[in-house]
């Protein structure tokens, strides 16, 4: 059994046929580790692009890859064939975050007319896995260099931001936090469900009557005393959340609730936030309804 830690470089190119921008893979790098985590081989190959043979400035600056180099690269199908033979059979593929694997899937669809990356049987998201071991306050910061630093690895050992360098750095992180039981939990079979999940785009629910949600979600209680509340202003959708104003007789307070409902592949993410509202002075001071 081997662990294949893979990284891609791509160029954002406009495809006239698809009439949209596509991240076209220009380089594939990978490190193969054996069961004892020794490096059993490396893979590095430039891909000759089809959609655009001009690199964006950002990619040139970051990777120092030149237009001439990619033009001399090998066709995508050939590089994939080489990668497949190099990887061998019994292995777990890993990438840092799922962006690379999603990009590879898009390139498989466009250039190979395939709806799956057929040579990958098992996959683990290395970023997700490493986050289990690193205490990161801000998960959005969990870039590869940041994670490496948290694990006392100097990212400058691999400074070139080329696919192989980034795979090597990812492999170092992986070695530091290796735990076969946890990795087993994080490893998924690349079946139909895996690809459906990969291409699923989470979205916000914008309609109160959306069949995806249980209407009970809109029942409101006071967050201080738990009592049923009076609706002052009914739910209204705007800015990614529903908002409503409520009044609790028990606490004599008015508050606003913001409810954000996001549909993920296999669960609804519901965030409920409460905001205090200052009651009209006349009402709180005199205790009279000023109608």
Residues contributing to the site for Zn ion (CB under 5 A): 222, 224-225, 227, 248, 250-251
Whole-number minimum distance, CB 229 to Zn ion, in Å?
Answer: 7
Identity of the residue, 51 or 248, whose beta carbon is nearer to Zn ion in the bound complex: 248
Q: In the chain, what is the straight-line distance between the N-terminal and C-terminal CA atoms, in Å?
A: 76
CB of 250 to Zn ion, least distance (A): 4
Closest to Zn ion by CB, 179 vs 250, is: 250
Nearest CB to Zn ion, comparing residues 111 and 255: 255
Beta carbon nearer to Zn ion, 9 or 245: 245
Q: If DSSP codes are grouped into helix, strand and coil, which group holds residue 183?
A: helix
Here the contacts of 27-30 (C-beta below 8 Å, separation 24 or greater) are 27/63, 27/65, 27/70, 27/73, 27/162, 27/163, 28/79, 28/83, 28/163, 29/162, 29/163, 29/164, 29/165, 29/166, 29/167, 30/4, 30/5, 30/6, 30/83, 30/86, 30/87, 30/163, 30/164, 30/167
37 or 225: CB nearest Zn ion: 225
Q: How far is the CB of 249 from Zn ion (least distance, A)?
A: 8
Residue whose CB is less far from Zn ion, 109 or 277: 277
DSSP 19-51: TEEEEEEEEEEEEEE-TT--EEEEEEEEB--SS
Q: Judging by DSSP bridges, how do beta strands 122-125 and 188-189 pair with one another?
A: antiparallel
SS3 content of the chain, % helix, strand, coil (to 5): 35, 30, 35
- Token reading at 98: 């799922």
- Rounded to a whole number of angstroms, the minimum distance from the CB of residue 222 to Zn ion is 3
Q: Least distance to Zn ion from the beta carbon of 221, Å?
A: 8
Give least dist CB 254 to Zn ion, A. Answer: 11
């Amino acid at each position: 059994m081997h662990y294949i830690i893979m990284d891609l470089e791509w160029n954002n190119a406009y495809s006239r046929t698809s009439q949209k921008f596509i991240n076209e893979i220009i380089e594939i790098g990978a490190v193969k580790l054996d069961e004892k985590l020794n490096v059993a081989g490396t893979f590095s190959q430039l891909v000759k692009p089809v959609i655009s043979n001009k690199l964006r400035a950002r990619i040139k600056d970051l990777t120092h890859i030149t237009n001439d180099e990619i033009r001399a690269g090998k066709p995508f199908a050939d590089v994939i064939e080489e990668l497949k033979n190099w990887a061998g059979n019994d292995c777990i593929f890993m990438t840092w975050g799922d962006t690379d694997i999603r990009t590879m899937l898009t390139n498989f669809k466009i250039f190979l007319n395939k709806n799956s990356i057929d040579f990958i049987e098992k996959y683990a998201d290395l970023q997700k896995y490493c986050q289990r071991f690193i205490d990161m306050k801000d998960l959005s910061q969990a870039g590869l260099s940041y994670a490496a630093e948290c694990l006392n690895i100097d990212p400058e050992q691999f400074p070139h931001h080329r696919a192989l360098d980034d795979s090597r750095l990812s492999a170092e992180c992986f070695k530091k936090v290796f735990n076969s039981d946890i990795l087993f939990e994080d490893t998924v079979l690349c079946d139909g469900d895996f690809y459906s999940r990969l291409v699923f785009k989470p979205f916000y629910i914008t309609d109160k009557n959306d069949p995806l949600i249980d209407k009970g979600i809109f029942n409101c209680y006071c967050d201080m005393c738990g009592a049923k509340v009076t609706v002052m202003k009914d739910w209204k959708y705007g800015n990614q959340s529903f908002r409503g104003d409520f009044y609790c007789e028990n606490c004599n307070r008015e508050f606003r609730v913001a409810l954000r409902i996001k549909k993920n592949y296999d669960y609804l993410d519901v965030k409920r936030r409460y905001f205090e509202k200052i009651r009209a002075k006349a009402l709180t001071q005199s205790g009279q309804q000023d109608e």
